[in-house]
Chain A
Amino acid sequence: MKIFERLIYSILNSKFKKFLVLFITLLAFVGSIMMLPSKLVLAKMLPGKSANTYSIYVDTPTGSSVEQTRRVTQCIDGILQKEKEVVNIETYLGMGSPLDYAGLVKGSGFKRSENVAEIVVNLTDKHKRDEKSFMMVHRLRPVIQKNCENLVKGTNIKMIEQPAGPPTLASIVVELYGSNAQKVRKIAKQIAGILKQTKGLVDVDIMQDEIYKKFELKVDKEKVIRSGISIKQVNQILYLAFEGMNVAIKNSENAPEQIPLFLVLSKKTKELSSFSKDALKDKLSSLKLMNKKGMMTPVIELVNIKEVDSEPTIMSKDLRKMVNITAETDLVSQVYPLLKARAKMKEFFSKNYDVKSTHLFNLQLKDKKTGEIYDLNWDGEMKVTMDTFRDLGAAFIAALVLIFLLMVIYYKSFAISGIILLGSFLSIIGVIVGHWVMDVFTVDTFFLTATSLIGFIALMGISSRNSLLLIDFAVSLIEKGMPKRKAIAVATATRAKPIFLTAAAIILASTLLARDPIFGGLGVALIFGTISAVIVSLIFVPVLMDNTKAIKDTK
């Protein structure tokens, strides 16, 4: 301890050494902050969580049949069966799987059409398995998409992992607003194209119905009335014949429900020979309607067939027409691919549109010819991340202000309170460097996450206490009549012991946290932040104390 006391004393007595301490601290601070923009340390809201289950969403194009969808799911099932860690695979055709947190926001509960399916994959227990579930998803995704997406053209397969934190629609969501529906479709396709090309982004999908061909039957009113048949009758019989209806009910004492009598044309005889107007005409000529007098009229004589495009579902958000384009990230943070894609979009659209940046990363496209305006907003996990980091940042500043006020009340000096604040703020060096070190030593990327920020905020209080101890003791030594420099050196050396002791307690308590996938960021922030806080308060703070006039010799 004597050695340490002498060391501090010698630093305080030499102008050069004091400068050196301040300079090195500044260098370390700037250096660590630079690790963020230089991408040595990557930020993400929450890291991936290894789970015992994941889901696969299959969307064949709107208008596809359940048989086509089934072909895709069978292909996926086949690939999954080769995995040794898979315990069971459940396939839900034409509906969503039982709701989970991910499905809740991804609209899984609303799925009810022939072109959707969800597959739930259950794995062996994560503790007894080497491969983390997100690594497995990462490995299987390209295999599944390559082999199965081509079975039905336009199929979209998404791999859905359990979210570590609050669920979102997707990692990256681009909301495209515009009133010209056709133009919006075109732009959406272009955006999806850009997202697909961006490295790190997968599962790109435009959340809109595909337009497909369908037939429109137009009832010839005159003929219908003349043949003594009502339009309602035509509609009903067509529906009955091809879709089928429950026409009567049988009550039963043994079955849990009433037994309906379901009437429909047999599958074999109602099938069209091909997807064409003539095939449909053929069918409708053999289906006949009877009027009240018992006269039979073939349906085809009452209607005209026209081939038309289907009308897609119209989506709107907050009263404006909108199309969502979604993308997932593949093991990477969504922040960086987003910035890349955004830059590319700006470049791509500037040919035909005036591109303007609006709120945050959002863009506005103005058609150079027509003057139509399209808004392009980012949503999804990206927005949640931005909001969370912003709110945590605000919480952090609020914490700074509160500590400062508390110290001002306690010491009645702005300068001393400032030193304490600065000292605790510098623990950020350890937080960032710690993440970099962990990233170097772990296999997958170690992200700076929301939990790291929470750790950092907690650190503020801890390291302000270190400085508080130091200053408190030094001031009382000076009051006893010790010269200022001597007093600072003695106080630092004496307080080193409890500072080390409490720091050790925090570090030891956090080591187990550091191994956790979610709270790892917090653990690392606490461990490395505490280390840097100890160094800062034992070397940097004494120098500041010496320099300030707020601490004065009593003589």
Chain B
Amino acid sequence: MSDIYKTKNIAGKLARSFLHNPLTSLLGIFLLLMGYIALQVTPREEDPQIEISGGSVMVILPGATPKQIDNIIVKPLERKIKEIKGVEHIYGVSMHNVGVVNVMYYIGENRESSNLKLYDKVMQNLDKLPKGVMQPIVKPFDIDIDIPIVTVSFYPKDNSNISQVELYERVKYIQNRLNSIENVAKTTLKGEKKQQYNIQVDLKKLSGFHLSMGQIVNALKSLAADVPDIKNRTVDGKLAIFGVKNAIESIRDVKNLIIAQYMGSPIYLKDIATVENGYNIQNFQSTEIIYKKNGKFTKSKKQITLTLSKLKGTNAVVIADAIAKKLDEFKSELSKEGVGYKITRNYGVRADEAVNELVMHLLVSIVIIAILLVLVLGWKESLIVTFTVPAILAVTIFVAFMTGQTINRITLFAFLLSLGLLVDAAIIVIENIHRHLHEHDAVDKDMDDILVEATDEIGAPTNIATLAIILTMVPMAFVGQMMGQFMKPIPQNVPVALFTSLVVAYIFTPFLSRKLLKKPKLHHHEHHFQKNDTELKGEEK
């Protein structure tokens, strides 16, 4: 056995070529570094991204009843949309004045082209819509942009008398500032009250003065006219510009508007109506908040909720952090004005927590396995196997990053699932090396040869076994529906991890063994319970 061992398969070949290569250690460091960077830069989310394509078409026909809408708008529209390929379900809703058709594509349909197809279909059939309808509104669903990752609730502090309109103006300003944060997409306000001059006419006085609502409208319209500046020229060719100022400068101007003459004296608007500078009272929507302060709940307060969403494929954790920081800058300023705020939703924190929790699980599992190996094989061997785990995970995370995946609950779940499997290859190689080193004829053999041979021997069965496990994962990629999308990270990542585990085991286990393990100096013999065992372990899996 003094001649150099001839490798039979890829396992031995890999082991041989990397055994003395000075680049092997560099490669190891490079892999770990790559994984670390990927772990840091890969966007984190709580739930994986589900590709849902769909949209809704809204058509308004003022004054139409649900039945009319159904017959002349929704039904024809549904039929036309049915012609689009890839549409799974069409939902029609016919209400008073409005018809809505919601379209759901099959899951996995390309979002951009689906949106385009829907828009195209509606636009092509504009001529078939009945007379009097307004331009149809086509709105595609966009989960990333529609689901806010952070919501902030702004409310007046306990003893502040900030008006709802002032609160709105403050929040509007903050909305503009937060919108400038990188990767923040859509921001919306909920429960805002906009400034408005309210003119509430007393019906009794109106009829008492023999007035009609139409007269008031005309009077207001004539007052509020805005005209652009007028350009005139002087004799010597210079410009002389003059303009009429809007007659309404303040609420007082509205109050003192003369509507009509009654028995010789003018009737002012304030005589027949309450005129005030308030908020849009016709908006029935409002939001309230109750929160705990010093262990007690406050009274119900009117609030404005600011919602912020992120662009697709960006890191929820980073964006949420940036938002919280920016809000902190406003804190004292807002406090002075009597405005308090609470972050009522933070998906960034939730994503980070979920990810960190699973990373923790991953680490604890690795430690437990390491301890097991120390007990069974010895601490050096255990160390070698334990090194391969981060190397394998590093490659897997890097591949996930390169293929545009995010780190989320399901990706980490895939890692945890594969953890029990991916140490196997390394365990098998190290166990075989361990056994070969303690064999009777080990002293006569070259260390390198023993390592390569031990690796090579188990190559074929290990490859087959790993291939079998990879094969069980592949069909999972074809699970359809939402759940299939949700689980996609498993068939995407487990095979990568398993394949990497093979390569890493073949390259690094012999390499590290050469550095760490020594041939037993003395020809001691361990008692093998079976002579055959020593000879035939070559066929070990």
Interface residues of A (CB under 8 A from B): 1-2, 45, 52-53, 66, 74, 77, 81, 86-95, 97-101, 104, 109-110, 112, 114, 120, 122, 165-168, 233, 237, 240-241, 243-244, 246-251, 255-257, 259-270, 283, 286-290, 296, 311-319, 384, 387-388, 391-392, 394-396, 398-399, 402-403, 406-407, 410, 450-451, 454-455, 457-458, 460-462, 464-465, 468-469, 472-473, 476-477, 480, 482, 490, 494, 498, 501-502, 504-513, 516, 518-519, 522, 526
Contacts and interface: CB of A to CB of B under 8 A. Distances in A.
A477 B534 CA distance: 12
A98 B469 contact: no
A509 B461 contact: no
Contacts of B274: 266
B307 A465 contact: no
Interface stretch (B110-118, B481-489, B515-523): B481-489
**List of 9 A-B pairs having minimum Cβ-Cβ separation, nearest first:** A461-B469, A506-B420, A166-B482, A248-B224, A398-B475, A509-B420, A395-B475, A88-B291, A269-B203
Interface stretch (B30-38, B214-222, B499-507): B214-222
A319 B69 CA distance: 14
B13 interface: no
Interface string B87-106: 00111111110001000000
Contacts of B69: 314
A501 B194 CA distance: 69
Per DSSP, chain B at the interface is: helix
B490 interface: yes
Nearest to B465: A465
Interface stretch (B120-128, B142-150, B232-240, B397-405): B142-150
B153 A90 contact: yes
Contacts of B288: 90-91, 93
B371 to A, nearest CB: 9
B245 to A, nearest CB: 11
Contacts of A396: 475
Contacts of B469: 458, 461-462, 465
Interface stretch (B18-26, B156-164, B297-305, B322-330): B297-305
A66 B539 CA distance: 78
Contacts of B214: 233, 237, 289-290
B284 interface: yes
Interface of B: 47, 50, 65-67, 69-70, 74-75, 78-79, 82, 89-96, 100, 141, 143, 146-148, 151, 153, 169, 172-173, 190-191, 194-204, 206-207, 210, 212-217, 220-221, 223-224, 226, 246, 248, 254, 273-274, 280-282, 284-292, 297, 300, 303, 305, 307, 342, 344-345, 350, 361, 364-365, 368-369, 372, 376, 409, 413, 416-417, 419-421, 423-424, 427-428, 431, 461, 464-465, 467-476, 478-487, 490, 494, 529-530, 532-533, 536, 539-541
21 contacts: A90-B344, A93-B284, A94-B284, A166-B50, A259-B196, A261-B224, A261-B254, A269-B204, A288-B210, A311-B65, A312-B66, A313-B94, A316-B94, A458-B472, A461-B473, A462-B420, A468-B464, A498-B427, A508-B368, A509-B365, A509-B368
Contacts of B65: 311
A269 B202 contact: yes
A262 B281 contact: yes
Contacts of B172: 256
A247 B288 CA distance: 30
A89 B155 CA distance: 13
Nearest to B79: A319
A82 B284 CA distance: 28
Contacts of A402: 471-472, 474-475
